[in-house]
């Protein structure tokens, strides 16, 4: 098994519960952004609160999907052989959880991986 440095976010359970009440609209926006990125390359869109969301996908042996909020890299997810995992999570800001959590859900990663009590390396 290959070893890689993986970072886990430090969002609390309260943050996840708070984001769980976000409108379905946010999940639709993030899902549409992911689909458009797979079909047409890197994409950006403006969210309802003025934040600019962006997705860039690098294809290879495994796909790396990068998620940006206001031109700041937030999350990289690696997808290999049908398995998704977070490989980088940076610039953790509480206000960004409302978009990061739907992004991670859309890629099939359980919310437990981004909780502070998640697995540690």
pLDDT at 8 over 50: no
Tell me the pLDDT tens digit for each residue of 78-114: 999 888 888 887 767 777 888 888 888 888 888 777 6
Helix, strand, coil shares of the chain, percent, nearest 5, are 35, 30, 35
The backbone region for 50, taken as left when phi is positive above 0, alpha when psi lies in -120 to 50, beta otherwise, is: left
Tell me the pLDDT tens digit for each residue of 17-58: 444 445 567 888 889 999 999 899 888 888 878 889 999 999
116 in Cβ contact with 11 (< 8 Å): yes
User: Which of 91, 89, 58 minimizes the C-alpha distance to 75?
Assistant: 89
State the DSSP code for 113.
G
């Amino acid at each position: 098994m290959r070893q890689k440095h993986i970072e886990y976010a430090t969002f609390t359970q309260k943050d996840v519960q708070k984001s769980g009440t976000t409108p379905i609209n946010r999940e639709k926006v993030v899902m549409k952004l992911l689909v458009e990125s797979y079909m047409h390359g890197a994409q950006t869109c403006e969210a309802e609160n003025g934040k600019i969301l962006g997705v860039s996908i690098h294809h290879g042996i495994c796909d790396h999907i990068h998620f940006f909020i206001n031109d700041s890299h937030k999350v990289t997810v690696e997808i290999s052989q049908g398995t998704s995992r977070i490989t980088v999570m940076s610039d953790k800001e509480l206000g960004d959880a409302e978009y990061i959590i739907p992004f991670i859900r859309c890629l099939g990663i359980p919310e437990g991986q981004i909780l502070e009590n998640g697995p540690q390396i």
